Amino acid sequence: MADRCTGSRLRAELDKRDMALSHAQLQRFVAVGLLPPSGDDGRWPSRTLVALIRIVRLGRTVTSLDRRLLRLRRDYHAFPVEPSNLRAAMVRLVPSIDAPVRKLRFVADYARSPMPTARQLPVVRVRALGRVDPNVRRARPLRGQRLPSPEVWAGILRSVDAERVGMWAVGWYAWLGDVIPAHYAPEPDPLAWIPFEERVILYAILDIAARDPDAQARWV
């Protein structure tokens, strides 16, 4: 393939792999933030094909583009989602989370409350950062306090500007994807029954709420 490809060429390459994709679908991937816009020449880097294959393949089991975005964002080097698109996808997904109170309680109990302090935790390799960084560990919030009700979750996510969400998301993904499983190993991750993209949203809600404790009275 050439170094830069048109949308038609990318779709033709997908067709060769039995992955049909329309022009409208390609533009939708761009609109939600799964893919960057094409350059001034109307072309994408050839590596975009690899990202497209992953997006389409995941779509066989996960139809929601927002869910695909949050899940693929875990590989930030391949999917460097803009903070505004990340926050928007999280807000849109809030109403689709079933058993929301139960899931939030599980995340609060297993991702925060029982965890030892940062000094007691072993240093683990954090793939999201590409290096060993013990400073990824989070403080324990909301212990002994009521959790935010689902009705205010979207508002909590909107209460923080997108750039902060982008910065904090590095820690959210590392904590949920690496630190929590490493802490409970060799036992299974107790949160594995919750879709990963929902874990990110729920953890973000808890983290944002804990950063502004004075606002909790308005949220519960």
Q: For 21-76, how does the pLDDT look when each residue is reduced to its tens digit (9 = 90+)?
A: 999 999 999 999 999 999 999 999 999 999 999 999 999 999 999 999 999 999 99
Give a yes or no: residue 212 inside a domain: yes
Helix axes 100-111, 196-211, angle to 10 degrees: 70
- Is residue 55 domain-shared with residue 141, that is, in the same domain? no
Give a yes or no: residue 66 inside a domain: no
Taking the whole predicted model, whether its pTM rises above 0.85 is answered as no
Surface-to-core class of residue 186, CB atoms within 10 Å of its CB (0-12 exposed, 13-18 middle, 19+ buried): exposed
Split at pLDDT 50, 70, 90, the class of 2 is low
4 backbone dihedrals φ, ψ, rounded to 5°: -130, 140
* C-alpha span between 141 and 113 (Å, rounded): 8
The confidence score (pLDDT) of residue 76 equals: 94
The confidence score (pLDDT) of residue 7 equals: 93
Give the tens place of pLDDT for each residue, 161-219.
999 999 999 999 999 999 999 989 999 999 999 999 999 999 999 999 888 766 655 55
Handedness of CA 159, 161, 162, 165 (dihedral sign): negative
* Domain residue limits at 23: 4-61
Give a yes or no: residue 136 inside a domain: yes
* C-alpha span between 109 and 103 (Å, rounded): 10
Give a yes or no: residue 28 inside a domain: yes
Surface-to-core class of residue 91, CB atoms within 10 Å of its CB (0-12 exposed, 13-18 middle, 19+ buried): middle
Q: How many domains does the chain have?
A: 2
Give a yes or no: residue 184 inside a domain: yes
